[in-house]
Structure 1
Amino acid sequence: MYEELDKKLRSLTTREREYQEQPFLSPKYKTYEIVEYEGKEVYVFSSEIPVNENIAISKQNRFAEVPMHIHTYLELNYVYSGECTQIINGETNTLTEGQICIVDTGVPHSIYPASESDIIINILIRKEYFTSSFLSRLSNQGVISNFLVNAISDTQNHNRYIIFHSEKNVNLQTLIRQLLCEYFDKSICSEEMIDCYMVLIFSELLRVFHFYTNQSNDQPYSGTKLIEILHYIEKNYKTCTLVSTATHFSFSPNYMSYFIKKGTKKTFKELIQIQRLQHSSVLLSNTNMPIYEIADETGHGNLSYFYKKFKQYYNLTPQEYREKHNRS
């Protein structure tokens, strides 16, 4: 199976042979809208995902430059072989084999021409795909998954990208190969299989804690430190306070509050509330516990307040959420 996939990806397409002989700008660019971004013209890619589908996967054409452009959807670049050099928001980044870069909507980026040994897979994802239903299926149901998705889909901030140093993650490489095999050779239940692989891939990405983001963090504290703090909140949300969390990481409470707000665009209190609600959703989906017990279990002493916050976050009442997602 993997041998056939490898052969397919490494084989030169007709268009690649043309680019190899004489690089040129594809005629398709004449059909794209051009907008101005910070004084420069960029192409707008908006029609690459088929209508009524949420995901489109393709191999990037080698030997041809992809000029500065933005997407109306999220783009996940996976380096299947070789390397990939991009300019994202004015920063040059080179990904090596096995690494992944997720680029948010509206982020200007260009890609250098790839050599014959450089095979880059583009996975385009509509933002609507990241529904509460999708998130509830992630193995990491908490503020880390919330941070990951918000980092690339925050409607208030479209200038982000995340590079995952996933080159040593064997599970991730296997899952992506399985996804590609399913996508390029569709059969019965392929759509459901693709959805399952996407959940597994994002779950695996959540395990790759050492990642780089273009969001500035005060030195010497990196994005890794922020993930460590979020992980601590996930594990200790029932008992931790701003002061106890700050003490654990040798921060002052004021700096901890600033650091969290700067990195996540949420307050410490909001993160605790998100963790409570997301743990509540897990219990609603996977147990038959009475709702009042779930509220108490997740630190919501006031049942009316729990209902109010749950409805605000999921746009469903706890009972409606249970009826829609219950798997017990």
Structure 2
Amino acid sequence: MVAVKLEQYLASILASAKNDTNEVYLEPGNKNLDLLTIFLEKHNQNTHRYQATNAIMLYVAEGTARIKVNGQAFLVEAGNLVLLQNKSNYEIESQNSGDLLVKLVFNSNLTYQNLFAKLASGAEREQQAVEQVLTVLRAKGLLYLKSTRVSQPAQLLKKIIDEYLNQSLFASPMINAELTVLLAEALRNQSLTEAATSSYGFAQTAFDQYIEANFANITLAQAAQHFGFNTNYFSSLVKQKTGKSFVEHVDERRMEEARTLLARTDISVKEIIARIGYSGKSFFYRKFNDYYHETPMQMRAELFRQAKINLK
């Protein structure tokens, strides 16, 4: 399998999955491979709740994932990895269609304690680095590796997935070696940390500013991702905190802008429709009439009359 096409291949498997489960099992290319099992998280509209029985690594290949581990909630972006200790309770909130979350479940003999311990030689600095991350892992049940899709840890993780899927010889030692390098690289660069907790609070000022800046070209999914929430949760949160839906907020700002533009003589109604983000004249007229109880041309005539503008 070509590494650069791995994400598309995984997305196609996810899209074709028909079973009613929370995750899709990936068949290993080598039937004798017993180091780990890999799953893809499905997009059904539920919060998926698990308890880790073995060490687990979560990798966001595309989009984002909102995860809660032992009560700690945080947003994981594309290229990021989360290492979960066994016996950790974790939740994965419902995802958007473009999100791609890969779950690597290691066998019971492959623990993070053993993996990290093997990295340290007799050097005191190495032993201290290992003990530091293991202390966080024991206390929090997780370690967070913030990287990008083109960084070395992410590239190594994709090689591990690729080895798992292919029928290549010596897959087990290759995966072991790549996993060792991945963890060593993370320790060397001190990039394994405690995940930063995300707030579930809602700042209406920031929300209003975002609407103001983006009302002409905006979707619910884009706004939810901007604020670090999954789409369904964000939609409910906006309604709960403001009393109006996300669409109502966007339409209200578009209607205000339409009224401002209708007072100008140099802009046609067709141009106004395009400027404020509506795709068709009939839809705009219906929205406008629902909001102002008159047509755009009726309002324009009244605005011109008030401004003593005579176009005849």
Specify whether residues 99 and 52 from structure 1 end up closer, same or farther in structure 2 by C-alpha distance, changes over 3 A only. Answer: closer
Q: Give 2:82's aligned residue.
A: 101
User: Aligned AA for 2:117?
Assistant: L
Report how far residue 134 of structure 1 moved.
6.8
Aligned to 1:6: 7
In 1: Cα distance, 2:6 partner to 2:23 partner:
28
Query: Is the partner of 1:128 in helix, strand or coil?
Result: coil
Tell me how far apart the structure 2 counterparts of residues 215 and 8 of structure 1 sit (CA, whole Å): 31
Map of 1:136 onto structure 2: 118
SS in 1 for 2:168: coil
Residue 175 of structure 1 corresponds to 156
Q: Bigger relative contact order, structure 1 or 2, given CA contacts below 8 A and separation 6+?
A: 2
Aligned-residue RMSD, C-alpha:
3.5
The equivalent residue for 2:190 is: 209
Match of 1:82 among 63, 83, 87: 63
1:11 and 1:171 map into 2 onto residues whose CA distance is 25
Distance (Å, rounded) in 1 between the aligned partners of 2:190 and 2:150: 12
- Corresponding residue number in structure 1 for 2:52: 71
Offset, 1:146? 3.2
1:74 deviates by 1.5
Residue 64 of structure 1 deviates from its aligned partner by 4.7
Size of the alignment, in residue pairs? Answer: 186
Percent of aligned pairs sharing the same letter: 13
**Cross-structure match for 1:145:** 130
Tell me how far 1:27 sits from its aligned partner. Answer: 11
Deviations 1:178-211 (A, max 9, x none): 1111111132111111111110111122134255
Q: CA deviation at 1:4?
A: 3.7
Question: Given the superposition, is the C-alpha separation of residues 108 and 124 from structure 1 closer, same or farther in structure 2, using an over 3 Å criterion?
Answer: same
Q: 1:12 to 1:65 in 2, by over 3 A?
A: farther
Counterparts of residues 133-282 of structure 1 (less than 5 Å): 135-137=117-119, 141-152=126-137, 154=138, 159-167=140-148, 170-213=151-194
Three-state SS of the structure 1 residue aligned to 2:68 is strand
Change (3 A) 1:143 1:127: farther
Superposed displacement of residue 88, structure 1: 1.9
Contact residue 133 and residue 192 of structure 2 kept, 8 A: no
**CA deviation map 1:72-117 (0-9, x unaligned):** 1111111111100012222321101111111222222110122221
5+ residue gaps in structure 1?
19-23, 29-49, 217-328
Question: Is the CA contact 2:23–2:40 (under 8 Å) kept in the aligned structure 1?
Answer: no
When normalised by structure 1's length, the TM-score is 0.48
Q: After TM superposition, list the pairs within 5 Å mapping 1:55-70 onto structure 2.
A: 55-70=36-51
Partner of residue 250, structure 1: none
Structure 1 pair 117–171 and aligned structure 2 pair: CA distance change class (3 A): same
* TM superposition shift of 1:167: 2.5
